[in-house]
A and B are shown apart, each in its own frame.
Chain A
Amino acid sequence: MKLSSLIRLTALILLVAFIVMPHAFAFVFEPLTVNRAPAIYNQGSLLTLTLQHLRTVVLATLASTVIAVALGIFVTRPSGTEFLPLSRSLVNIGQTFPPIAVLAIAVPLVGFGEKPTFIALFLYGLLPIFENTLTGLTQVSPQTLEAARGMGMNDRQRLFQVELPLAFPLILAGIRLSVIISLGTATIGSTVAAKGLGEVIIAGLQSNNIAFVLQGGLVVALLAVLIHDGLGLIERLAARKLGRSLDEVS
């Protein structure tokens, strides 16, 4: 087994162990507490918070993926080309909005809790996926499309059997980026009372308990790094599969 895989596996085991039975690790965090403050987050179960955090991210990413890929397909079809220059500019402008601003502006519209977080995650998640869908669909070479047309494929078959499969690895990369941004934004979501791991960090900041801040930070950071790695693995598998099927054709 390679060293890097070993490190990942250890990190994963440690993370799961800590989330499931945090009190076994109390001795690590005790030196950081003062005045006999609790060393382990005591206002909720870390496992529940982690699952809630992940649920928000997964639901929001699913929604943004469906909408962003559909929009990406629309603006690259002949009937949607009039929207292409605008959509490129809007994506560029959209990325200048800090996620926290989207979150904060959503609160007065829909109230505190999960809703503003979901909206911010959904909107912010659209951008990388849409951008990568566009890049993926527009970089399919004209010769490939011509060949598909020559084989008698209609527009629909070309899209589903040629263009989307070729764009798939890039779309996956967009989804990965979107998931990572969402994990971070969902953490900040705790400032607007969404259930998630940010709660631990914010409780630590409010009660001046560095132990909470550190364990919250560690769990969120490890979770993000491991998910990023895992999605990267899927991406490489997809790209390899694509490479092989292309080789078979040629």
Chain B
Amino acid sequence: MLGVVPPRPMLSLDRLGTVIAILIGVALFAAPFATYRATRIASGQSRLLIEALPFTMSAVVAIVALAVAAGAAIVRDPLGRLGSAVIGLAVLLPSLGLSAGYLTPADNTFARVSPSTGFWLLTAAFSILAIDALARMRLGPYGRLAALAVGISAVALLLFSGIWNELSILKEYHTRADTFWREARQHLVLAFGSMAVACLLGIPIGIAGHRFRTLRIAMLQGLGIVQTIPSIALFGLLMAPLGALAASVPLAAALGIKGIGAAPAFIALVLYALLPIVANTIAGLSQVPASVVDAARGMGLSERQRLLEVEMPLALPVILAGIRIVSVQNLGLATVAALIGGGGLGTFVFQGIGQTAIDLVLLGALPTVGLSFVASIVLDALVDIAKGALA
């Protein structure tokens, strides 16, 4: 009986699709779509979908969402599922902006409208459907980059078309646009600047560690301990020596090195980034087959040529995988830098916590999540491309 596939019934329910359909049902009929607040820190009042939009528009959103729910439960073809998820998002996301305009009384600049549980659940349901479909399609690296580009363009369109301008998070943004871009730049400098320094230091250390066993063990153990120390504690531990350095060496102070601020955060991020880079450089080099190295030696390549032309290119995918870990890790850790005056998008998160202003928290948190998401997809694709170039 092996190998005989039982005939599939014409209309069978997909388990995941059924869960998604139930999620959509709950979101539509049992959860508020938007929250209205009289001022930015006032407590919110829930608005159901039918109250949050003009009747026709809320009917359109409900019908499309129900159609997506039905599609998720019945359609099994990944492309069809992806298509219905995209249509769902294309209707849902702009409708949030319309809802904000509809709920805000005319000429009222204090009122705030933000998405509520129902909207988030619908977005989650549609996104899960899309993510599952994309995972089943097993896109190659270029396909994934293309899908990412489409996603980024869609979000950019929503942000720059002005359709979301009445939303509370964008109102928070508009009142501090200058600061936002300054802190965003600072965030990128902290995260990627420290990553660049860590690569410049870590790859040579990794190469040396590959050659010398004692160095390898010492480096990996030492960096492993650093990796265990919680970020805020490491920032704190670096503040005392840096403060002393600035007080005793005028040059250090002139270079802007202080106990508080970006310097301890930057150094801590470099230290955190070193372990994945050193460890992956060592792992990448040690997986180069001995026969390949021997062949290169037989061809008369010098040690330097062997390293640069044979070993490093073969180790590249593993090193890139280390850089992928570091980029996501550093983008997240850089948020904590704001706590010691290092700036970055965390500034808004901590300000928002202090003022219990959720929109301000989201203004700092959402771009951070977005950046990490983009960085991880791009670097994953680069790892695959580097592997493909070797094959």
Contacts and interface: CB of A to CB of B under 8 A. Distances in A.
Interface of A: 32, 79, 82-83, 85-86, 88-90, 92-93, 95-101, 104-105, 107-108, 180, 183-185, 187-188, 191-192, 198, 201-202, 204-205, 210, 213-214, 216-218, 220-221, 224-225, 228
Given A98-B333, A205-B339, A216 B233 contact: yes
Given A82-B15, A97-B369, A228-B228, A89 B135 contact: yes
Given A97-B372, A101-B364, A217-B232, 13 more contacts: A82-B16, A83-B16, A86-B16, A86-B132, A86-B135, A95-B328, A96-B369, A98-B372, A104-B364, A107-B353, A187-B232, A192-B353, A221-B233
Nearest to A204: B236
Query: Which of B228, B235, B333 has the most chain A CB within a 10 Å cutoff?
Result: B228
Contacts of A217: 232-237
B295 to A, nearest CB: 33
B14 interface: yes
Interface of B: 14-16, 128, 131-132, 134-136, 225, 228-237, 239-240, 243, 259-260, 328, 331-333, 335-336, 339-340, 346, 349-350, 352-353, 356, 358, 361-362, 364-365, 368-369, 372-373, 375-376
A99 B368 CA distance: 11
A201 B233 CA distance: 8
A81 B292 CA distance: 40
Contacts of B260: 205
Given A216-B236, A217-B237, A225-B225, A88 B135 contact: yes
A96 to B, nearest CB: 4
Nearest to A211: B240
A214 B232 contact: no
Q: Which 5 A-B pairs have the closest CB atoms?
A: A184-B230, A98-B332, A217-B236, A96-B372, A101-B365
Which applies to chain A's interface (DSSP): helix, strand, loop or mixed?
Answer: helix
Nearest to A100: B335
Nearest to B230: A184
B230 A187 contact: yes
9 contacts: A85-B136, A86-B135, A98-B332, A104-B361, A107-B361, A191-B350, A213-B239, A217-B237, A225-B229
